[in-house]
Every structure is written in structure tokens, then in C-alpha cells.
């Protein structure tokens, strides 16, 4: 029997406590970005990210403490979160990102835009003689 990784009830017994989570993704040419995972039955239409301009996409939500697998769906293409610290193989030959939600107040999933090498894009001053 294959249970397809549906054992994500790590929050059982913790009550209705919800932790604020912020998904962020940057893709300059994306027309639509969603997040799909075991927390929304792998339905991308349930959690669309909203464009904040400049190719930056954001979705704020709440999740119970636990461990979740998820992917971003960018213009219909399923991709793992490029800044997730952990991932696991999925049954389709790709990878799912891992999100660990804890009870602590600082347990937010923030994809820091500063981790992308965009800040150094203008360092061309070394070309002057």
C-alpha cells in the first residue's frame, strides 16, 4: 500500500494553534505563481501568490505546527522552492520542498530576496581603467 506521504498530522494534540507563514518567490517573467502542498491537498488554485511588483510574489497564510511538503507552480510548471533548506524526491521524478512549522513566534518561512545575487548586479566599476 502506498500512502503517498499523507502522514502530515504532526500537529495532532496541539489544538487549533496556527503559525503565520509567508511564502515569497521571485521570477521576473512569471505571469502566475501559486503554492501547492500537502497543506492544501496539492491544489495550486487554493493558494495563489500575489504580485508585489518587480517579479516578486507573496502569499501570507497560517499553518498548524508540523512538517509539510510543497512546490511552487509557476505558469503551470511545478518547481521546488529554490531557497528551501530541505527537499525530498517526489513520485514524479522531481523534488518537493520541505517546510517545518514550529510553535515558536519566529517560525516563519521567509525567502529572503537578499539571498538572490541581484544586489551585486551593478558591480561593474572594475571595467574602468
- pTM (two decimals): 0.69
pLDDT digits (tens, 9 = 90+) for 84-102: 999 999 999 999 999 999 9
Asked whether residue 36 is domain-assigned, the answer is yes
Asked whether residue 8 is domain-assigned, the answer is no
Q: Is the four-CA dihedral 8, 58, 84, 16 of positive or negative sign? A: negative
Say whether pLDDT at 60 is over 50.
yes
57 vs 25: CA distance, rounded Å: 5
Asked whether residue 2 is domain-assigned, the answer is no
Asked whether residue 105 is domain-assigned, the answer is yes
Asked whether residue 6 is domain-assigned, the answer is no
| Residue 57's pLDDT band (cuts 50, 70, 90) | very high
Extract the C-alpha cell encoding 52.
Answer: 508585489
Say whether pLDDT at 109 is over 80.
no
Asked whether residue 119 is domain-assigned, the answer is no
Domain of 70, CATH number, reads 2.60.40.10
Count of structural domains, the chain: 1
Extract the C-alpha cell encoding 44.
Answer: 495550486
Q: What domain range includes position 74?
A: 19-112
Amino acid at each position: 500500500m502506498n500512502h503517498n506521504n499523507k502522514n502530515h498530522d504532526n500537529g495532532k494534540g496541539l489544538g487549533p494553534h496556527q503559525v503565520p507563514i509567508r511564502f515569497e518567490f521571485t521570477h521576473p517573467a512569471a505571469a502566475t505563481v501559486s503554492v501547492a502542498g500537502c497543506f492544501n491537498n496539492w491544489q495550486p488554485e487554493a493558494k495563489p501568490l500575489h504580485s508585489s511588483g518587480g517579479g516578486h510574489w507573496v502569499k501570507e497564510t497560517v499553518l498548524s505546527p508540523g512538517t509539510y511538503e510543497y512546490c511552487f507552480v509557476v505558469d503551470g510548471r511545478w518547481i521546488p522552492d529554490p531557497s528551501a533548506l530541505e527537499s525530498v524526491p517526489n513520485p514524479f521524478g522531481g523534488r518537493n520542498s520541505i517546510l517545518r512549522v514550529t510553535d515558536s513566534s519566529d517560525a516563519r518561512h521567509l525567502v529572503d530576496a537578499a539571498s538572490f545575487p541581484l544586489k551585486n548586479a551593478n558591480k561593474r566599476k572594475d571595467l574602468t581603467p
